[in-house]
Amino acid sequence: MQLKKLNTALFPVRYNEKYYHDTIASKEFSKLAYYSDICVGAIACRLEKKEGGAVCVYIMTLGVLAPYRSLGIGSKLLNHVIDLCEKQNIPEIYLHVQTNNDDAIAFYKKFGFEITKTIEKYYKNITPPDCYVLTKFIGQAATKK
């Protein structure tokens, strides 16, 4: 599976079968990116129900192999998910980012994500273990904040 190989190269965390099952279940919100027939990036999301029944999108992973960064591939992948949320009236997208991952935090902030929470000891086997929750509110949810 291309996504599994890519994640092994990109992330310090190993993902279980539930991650890949969730990716397949929300396939419209998960995409692979190819550059000259080489899989170089991916976004994997899942749909979640919030309290009250509203649906939101959780970005499980978004990554692009180092030699292919700064070519707009990650931006295209993220814009795909944002566009789907706008079309389907999904008011919120969120993700977890390690607190020392300044590049990722800056990347998401360019797209209107904001830090909405800090969770201590979120990650079990990586340092630092703390993460931020970054959230983008879409449509009416953005104006209600």
Residues with catalytic annotation?
58, 96
72 CB-near residues (< 8 Å, 6+ apart): none
CA distance 31 to 42: 6
Sign of CA dihedral 75, 136, 48, 91: negative
The SS3 of residue 130 is coil
Place of tokens 């292919």: 68
Contact residues for 1 (Cβ-Cβ < 8 A; gap 6+): 20
Under 8 Å between Cβ of 122 and 94: no
